[in-house]
Amino acid sequence: MDFVAILAGVAGTRFWPKSRARRPKQFLSFGGGGPLLVETFERTKLVAPPARTLVVTAAEHAESAARLLPQLPRGHVIGEPAGRDTAAAIGLAALLVSHPRGLPGARSDASLLVCPADHVIGPPERFAAAARAADELLARHPERIVVFGIRPSGPATGYGYVEQGAPPGAGEGLEAFEVARFHEKPTLEKAREYVASGRFLWNAGIFAFRASSMLAEIAGQMPELARALDEAAGSLGTSRFDGELARVWAALPKKSIDHGVMEGARRRAVIVPDYEWDDVGSFAALARARKADAAGNVALGGCVALESRGNIVDAGDGLVALIGVDDLVVVHTDDVTLVCRKERSEDVKRLLDEVKRRGGLDRHL
Amino acid sequence: MDFVAILAGVAGTRFWPKSRARRPKQFLSFGGGGPLLVETFERTKLVAPPARTLVVTAAEHAESAARLLPQLPRGHVIGEPAGRDTAAAIGLAALLVSHPRGLPGARSDASLLVCPADHVIGPPERFAAAARAADELLARHPERIVVFGIRPSGPATGYGYVEQGAPPGAGEGLEAFEVARFHEKPTLEKAREYVASGRFLWNAGIFAFRASSMLAEIAGQMPELARALDEAAGSLGTSRFDGELARVWAALPKKSIDHGVMEGARRRAVIVPDYEWDDVGSFAALARARKADAAGNVALGGCVALESRGNIVDAGDGLVALIGVDDLVVVHTDDVTLVCRKERSEDVKRLLDEVKRRGGLDRHL
């Protein structure tokens, strides 16, 4: 690929108290090779060099991101003045790799791989192979927008699904298909049907396309975003750009790339990579990503347990001690401990609402 | 009373991770008026002024204790070079309040009230009244050693018991009895018998006596300790004292005042104070000392809970968040979190053995 854009804009509360408003998930380590953003960057370096890589993140996190990625040239971390969901972030990336006053090497038909900063993918070589397959597919079908679809390991209800159509052919020994349809997160019943059919893939949020194709789809389907990008482009490469971007971004509605572009795009394809993938959507993912001990406990950091089974522990730099407890998520940070029944981890959001309601505890959010 | 000696030598692991090797229980606050040692000092000031008060603690904690009690004159915090249990600590206190080169005002028949630094007692006025009753009893029976015995609220197996004999009479409207016998911590069955008999009291570890009586009992029953005190006394008031004490203390066996003196003492009495008493022996004591919320959760510090019942939480300066968990003890500190089923809190000691065995985690002990 000519360029890689890493989307590091996710806020999310599912990892509180490990993640905070000022320290979102992509800046955290989940037991691999450092923070997820750094792991992602190390992986995308196999696809494009740092000089052809950009990171789109929230303005307030731009400095942290730049510090974590010293190999990235100055100006390659783009701080969005406000989170406007993935369509806007991807549109902005497409603008920057295609506009003459964008990144060095930008050209209108530059190919771009877009991927989230907060997924666990391995091994990296297979990720690179999938990107090469996307490249080959784009060489034959330059107008398509390619999405990566993961062959489901079960009827997950937390992901959108891509329904596959006829195979347009891909390289690297990987399967590729036309996209019959995009489907939103399903009910469990629906998810079971999808998986049983063998024709549904998880939408993993990774896209490959030529910038011109994406901007054409945006122009056709999201005129408001297209106009905003046009207006921002007017000051691209000048000191007025940040202010202009803030102005036009403020008025934009939030829309995901799936809703805004992919569902209605005319020319699409889905590639099925063969790497291991985890979106690390909750602490329960630790139980997949890390080996459990003999008692079925999975721990990041120091953990000592007596007569305790099936717990998921993140001790950070500290120590978590368990006595006689089962099936808990225990997350220790300097100032906060969360103790949550494993199947209740979705309720962290509700808990944070309660923390806000109570008042006086904002420093822990 | 002429003098008060506060025994602040307890190490103990039952409050780990709130208590540590370097920050024992008596230096911690359990939701009352500051650290237990300070609460104790505020209470004993009603019995004797700071100039007539001494604190016996471990040498390594002497500085912390002195810092917490700025009203105490210099030299009134005695750091034991090694912990030798209560008989040695009380013998040392008796020496200091009776020897001509001991504390200002020392004289051989000085009366001394000895009490642990880590109990919760209230209200303070009733404690003072019990001390006055002991004083009156000592005025009539100067040779007795008086122990405070708490009327049991249940068949506790964690305390020694004092079996009462005939009443020798006490003041302040309090009961007092001869001591028929001291009993060690009983089995549950025994404890039930004790409580049913109505003649057994909890040994609360508070003693009142004239220094001369205590030193005479030590001379008769604990010749080794008596010799050690004699040798140390030789350098009392000189710069050699600390070194001498270290030397003689090193060779002493550990023995409690109950085993070493009280069980065999000739003249004893037990006074039954009418204050509220809690030895704060485990986190479960928090459930007694503090009011539970509507869901039966008891918390020190910040705690937010969803669908959680009957938990005991100590969040320190931080926040503990609970989702869907019942009957746990959760203790959060900067570097360690303990999550323990409520009825298992006795196993913290075993857990610490495991922490030691594992190695590399000593900084959390």
* Whether residue B11 has pLDDT greater than 70: no
Inter-chain residue contact A320 with B339, CB threshold 8 Å: yes
pLDDT attached to residue B281: 77
Contacts of B325 in chain A (CB under 8 A): 328, 339-341
Contacting residues of A for B307, CB less than 8 Å apart: 344
Structure tokens at A320: 């978590």
What local confidence, expressed as pLDDT, does residue A23 receive?
82
Comparing CB atoms, the residue among A320, A343, A344 nearest residue B337 is A320
Domains, chain B, with CATH or none: 3-278 (3.90.550.10), 284-364 (no CATH)
How far apart, in whole angstroms, are the C-alpha atoms of residue A239 and residue A249? 17
Percent of chain A with pLDDT strictly greater than 70: 99
CA nearest to A332 within chain B: B337
* Cβ proximity of B44 and B113 under 8 Å: yes
Contact A347 B324 (CB under 8 A): yes
Contact B331, A323 (CB under 8 A): no
Q: Choose among A321, A338, A344: nearest Cβ to B338.
A: A321
Q: Residue A265: its pLDDT value, please? A: 95
Which positions in chain A touch B320 (Cβ < 8 Å)? 336-339
To which residue do tokens 């549904």 refer? A200
Q: How confident is the model at residue B315 (pLDDT cuts 50, 70, 90)?
A: very high
Q: What is the pLDDT of residue B167?
A: 85
Closest B-chain CA to A356:
B304
Q: What pLDDT score was predicted for residue A172?
A: 79
Q: How far apart are CA A70 and CA A78, in angstroms?
A: 14
B311 to chain A: closest CA residue: A339
| Interface contact A364-B302, CB threshold 8 A | yes
Which residues of chain B are within 8 Å of residue A338 when distances are taken between CB atoms?
A: 320-321, 323
Kindly determine whether residue A304 and residue B336, on different chains, have CB atoms separated by under 8 Å: no
The Cα of B311 is separated from the nearest Cα of chain A by a number of Å equal to 11
Among chain B residues, CA nearest to A305: B351
Does residue B288 have a pLDDT over 80?
A: no
Q: How many CB pairs (< 8 A) connect A and B?
A: 135
B90 is written with which tokens?
Answer: 């009380």
Taking the CA of residue A284 and the nearest CA in chain B, the distance in Å comes to 15
Residues in contact with A64: Cβ distance below 8 Å, sequence separation at least 6, in sequence order:
A27
**Mean of the pLDDT values across residues A131-149?**
96
Put simply, whether A357 touches B (Cβ < 8 Å) is no
User: How many angstroms separate the CA of residue B329 from the nearest CA in chain A?
Assistant: 10
Q: What's the mean pLDDT when you consider all of chain B? A: 93
The CA-based dihedral angle spanning residues B126, B127, B131, B133, taken in that order and rounded to the nearest 10 degrees: 30
Residue B5 DSSP SS3 = strand
Strands B175-177 and B268-272: antiparallel
Q: Is B320 in contact with A340 (Cβ distance < 8 A)?
A: no
Q: B293, B306, B322, B339: best mutation site toward chain A, by most A Cβ within 10 Å?
A: B339
Closest of B129, B116, B125 to residue B56, by C-alpha: B116
- C-alpha B115/C-alpha B126 separation (Å) is 15
Q: Cis before residue B116, ω within 30 degrees of 0?
A: no
Cβ contacts of A325 on chain B, cutoff 8 Å: 328, 339-341
Q: What is the pLDDT of residue B87?
A: 97
SS (H, E, C) chain A: CCEEEEEECCCCCCCCCCCECCECHHHCECCCCCEHHHHHHHHHCCCCCHHHEEEEEEHHHHHHHHHHCCCCCCCCEEEECCCCHHHHHHHHHHHHHHCCCCCCCCCCCCEEEEEECCCEEECHHHHHHHHHHHHHHHHHCCCCEEEEEECCCCCCCCCCEEEECCCCCCCCCCEEECEEEEECCCCHHHHHHHHHHCCEEEEEEEEEEEHHHHHHHHHHHCHHHHHHHHHHHCCCCCCCHHHHHHHHHHHCCCCCHHHHCHHHCCCEEEEECCCEEECCCCCHHHHHHCCCCCCCCEEEEEEEEECCECCEEEEEEEEEEEECCECEEEEECCCEEEEEEHHHHHHHHHHHHHHHHHCCCHHHC
Q: Measured between alpha carbons, how far is residue B173 from residues B43, B129, B160 in Å?
A: 20, 9, 25
Task: Count CA within 13 A, CB hemisphere, residue A254.
Answer: 6
B356 touches chain A (CB under 8 A): no
Q: Is A335 on the interface with B (CB under 8 A)?
A: yes
The alpha carbon of residue A306 is apart from the nearest alpha carbon of chain B, in Å, by 7
Q: How far is A303 from chain B (nearest CA, A)?
A: 9
Q: What is the pLDDT of residues A268-323, one digit of tens each?
A: 999 999 999 988 877 877 777 678 898 999 998 899 999 999 999 999 999 999 99
Of A304, A318, A334, the CB nearest to B355: A304
- Beta bridge partner(s), residue A148: A271
Query: Rounded to 5 degrees, what are φ and ψ at A171?
Result: -95, -165
- Collect all residues of chain A within an 8 Å Cβ-Cβ radius of residue B350: 306
Instruction: Name the 3-class secondary structure at B230.
Output: helix
Q: Tell whether B332 lies on the interface with A, counting CB pairs under 8 A.
A: yes
pLDDT for position B202? 96
ipTM of the complex: 0.79
Give per-residue pLDDT as tens, A221-267. Answer: 999 999 999 999 999 999 999 999 999 999 999 999 999 999 999 99
Return the closest-CA partner of residue A94 out of A108, A80, A78. A108
> Measured between CB atoms, does A349 come within 8 Å of chain B?
no
Nearest to B358 among A304, A335, A337 (CB): A304
Tens digits of residue pLDDT in B67-82 = 999 999 989 999 999 9
Cβ <8 Å between A319 and B341 = no
* A254 near B CB under 8 A: no
Cα(A205)–Cα(B170) distance, integer angstroms: 82
Question: Which residue does chain B place closest to A334, by CA atoms?
Answer: B334
Pairing of strands A268-272, A145-150: parallel
Cα–Cα distance for residue pair A203/A108, rounded to 1 Å: 26
Q: Read off the pLDDT band of A331 (50, 70, 90).
A: very high
- Residue B298, phi then psi, degrees to nearest 5: -115, 125
Does the beta carbon of B319 lie under 8 angstroms from any beta carbon of chain A?
yes
Q: How far apart are the first and last CA of chain A?
A: 39
CA angle A105, A110, A116 (to 5 degrees): 100
Which residues in chain A are contacts of B334 at CB distance < 8 A? Answer: 318, 334-335
Checking if the pLDDT of A11 tops 70, the result is no
Q: Which of A192-201, A346-355, B215-224 has the lowest mean pLDDT?
A: A346-355
Kindly tell me the sign of the dihedral angle through the C-alpha atoms of A50, A54, A55, A61. positive
Between chains, do A332 and B334 touch, taking CB under 8 Å as contact?
A: no
- Burial of residue A187 (number of CB atoms within 10 Å: 0-12, 13-18, 19+): exposed
Cα of B64 to nearest chain A Cα, Å: 24
Using CA atoms, how far residue A301 sits from A13, A16, A332, B191, in Å, is 21, 17, 10, 43
B213-234 pLDDT per residue, tens:
999 999 999 999 999 999 999 9
Chain B neighbors of A348, CB-CB under 8 A? 323
> CB atoms < 10 A from the CB of B34, how many?
14
B340 part of contact set with chain A, CB < 8 Å: yes
B28 or B284, greater pLDDT: B28
Of A26-30, A123-127, B141-145, B216-220, which range is least confident?
A: A26-30
* Chain A interface disruption, residue of B319, B341, B355, most A CBs within 10 A: B319
The reply to whether A359 touches chain B by the CB within 8 Å rule is: no
Report the gap between the CA of B342 and the closest CA in chain A (Å): 9
Tell me whether A353 touches chain B (CB under 8 Å): no
Q: How many angstroms separate the Cα of A250 from the Cα of each of A76, A102, A243?
A: 22, 21, 11
Whole-structure pTM value: 0.80
Q: Which of residues 297-316 of A touch B (CB under 8 A)?
A: 302, 304, 306-307, 315
pLDDT for A357 equals 92
What token pair was written down for A64?
């942290």
pLDDT number for residue B272: 96
Judged against a pLDDT cut of 90, whether residue A205 lies above it is answered with yes
Q: Would you call B317 an interface residue with chain A, using a CB distance cutoff of 8 Å? A: yes
Query: Going by DSSP bridges, is the β-strand pair B179-183/B161-164 parallel, antiparallel, or unpaired?
Result: antiparallel
Give the C-alpha distances (Å, rounded to integers) separating A46 from A105, A118, A131: 18, 17, 9
Element (H, E) at B55: strand B53-58
The pLDDT of residue A25: 86
Asked if A339 and B341 come within 8 Å (Cβ–Cβ), the reply is: no
Report the C-alpha gap between A231 and A250 in whole angstroms.
13
Q: Residue B311: what pLDDT?
A: 97
* Closest CA of chain B from A82, distance in Å: 30
Per the CB < 8 A criterion, the answer to whether B1 and B48 are in contact is yes
